[in-house]
Amino acid sequence: MPAIFRHRLRQGERILAVLLFLSICVPLTLPTQAVAKLPVFVSILPMRYFTERIGGEFVDVSVMVQPGASPATYEPKPRQMAALSGAALYLAVGAPFEQAWLPRIQAANPAMRVAHVDAGIQKLPMAAHHHEEEETEHADTAGHAKHEHDGLDPHIWLSPMLAKPMAQTIRRELSKADPAHAPVFRANFATLEKEIDAFDMELHDLFESIPPEQRTFMVFHPSWGYFAMNYNLRQIPIEFEGKEPTPRILQELMEEASEHGIRTIFVQPQFARKSAQAIADHMQGTVITADPLAEDWFDNLRTVARAMAASFTR
């Protein structure tokens, strides 16, 4: 065999050997198929937390009320209304802004299903400080979402025992919208339900040693009524229908705080803290932020509960 052919043969063998080596050491990477996600809109951040816990990788969740905004006065942005055209499901929690906006939200996408996560949950009256004259004065004041959903407290997600039926409704609605992944949603819900039950026991244990007569806390906005009901606590609100208290009512609140030995005032970041700070300064106490709209539901409620328990034992 001529030398030139022997050279080309050896060269071909070397190339084949290199290709064989690469095929062993560098596995062939095939493009992975993207998971189809169900486009879902929710009203507030805690709802996104529950929806993502149940829906997992099969949901793409958008939130209407952005961090720092109040659900009582929120107005969806034009880009949010436009984005609704691609949603398959809207999960309403009964936030005050939804009273006015739900018809427009539905009109933005008639094919989108609107499901009410608060359906079947009996709501409490919105807590108010006992000042009859102030209630009469503010009853004629418009522009605050009809006193938080016509006088009913919308903050149902702050009670672990009410969070379970809410989560069950979310699971059911996701399964209707995406039947192929219903078993996944059911399994994720079962895991979440067990975590909520364990968490509820944890918080009951936290407050167990505190005498009932000491379980009174003061808040600016009365967001924590369902949480208080869950653990036999009592909240005293400072504001009424989003209004700062008058000087007379502020004095009454200071006296009530002294009567109950309150040294901590809880405020939420969506509201001003001027009145709360005035009461805390009078009592030589502190103001602590308790955000009912924080997204990490477990961590947030645990932090608030521990702060409340600590305030009861001072």
Express each pLDDT in 207-230 by its tens digit. 999 999 999 999 999 999 999 999
Q: Does residue 83 register a pLDDT over 50?
A: yes
Residue 89 confidence (pLDDT) above 70: yes
Q: Please name which of 201, 187, 199, 198 lies closest in space to residue 53, comparing C-alpha atoms.
A: 187
Mean pLDDT over each residue of the chain, to the nearest integer:
86
Structure confidence at residue 273 (pLDDT): 81
Top-level class of domain 210-312 = alpha beta
Closest CA to 221 of 120, 283, 163, 145: 145
Q: SS3 for 62-120, per residue?
A: EECCCCCCCCCCCCCCHHHHHHHHHCCEEEECCCHHHHHHHHHHHHHCCCCEEEECCCC
Q: Express as a percent the part of the chain with pLDDT over 70.
A: 81
Instruction: Find the DSSP H helices in the chain.
Output: 3-25, 45-55, 78-83, 96-108, 132-139, 145, 160-177, 182-208, 225-230, 247-259, 274-282, 297-312
* pLDDT, tens digit, 9 for 90 and up, residues 106-152: 999 999 999 999 999 999 998 776 554 444 444 333 334 444 445 89
Q: Is 251 helix (H, G, I), strand (E, B) or coil?
A: helix
Non-local CB neighbours of 108 within 8 Å, separated by 6+ positions: 81, 82, 84, 85
Share of the chain above pLDDT 90, in %: 64
CA distances, 29 to each of 24, 26, 35, 249 (Å): 12, 9, 18, 70
How far apart, in whole angstroms, are the C-alpha atoms of residue 148 and residue 127? 11
What pLDDT is attached to residue 106? 96
314 Cβ neighbours under 8 A, 6+ residues apart: 261, 263, 264
Q: Which CATH architecture has domain 38-117+147-198?
A: 3-Layer(aba) Sandwich (3.40)
Q: Is the pLDDT of residue 66 over 60?
A: yes
In this structure, what token pair is assigned to residue 216?
A: 């009174």
Per-residue pLDDT averaged across 57-86, rounded?
Answer: 94
Q: How far apart, in whole angstroms, are the C-alpha atoms of residue 245 and residue 256?
A: 14
What are the sequence ranges of the domains in the chain? Answer: 38-117+147-198, 210-312
The CA-based dihedral angle spanning residues 180, 183, 186, 188, taken in that order and rounded to the nearest 10 degrees: -100
* Mean pLDDT of all residues in 181-203: 98
User: How many residues belong to the chain?
Assistant: 314
**pLDDT band at residue 27, thresholds of 50, 70 and 90?**
very low
pLDDT value of position 129 = 60
In this prediction, residues 235-247 reach a mean pLDDT of 83
| Residues 127 and 160 sit within 8 Å (Cβ to Cβ) | no
Which of these ranges, 65-74, 202-211, 236-245, 250-259, has the smallest mean pLDDT? Answer: 236-245
Give the pTM: 0.82
Same fold, 38-117+147-198 and 210-312: yes
pLDDT at 6: 52
Q: Indicate if the pLDDT at residue 46 is higher than 70.
A: yes
Mean pLDDT is lowest, of 79-88, 165-174, 178-187, 269-278, for 269-278
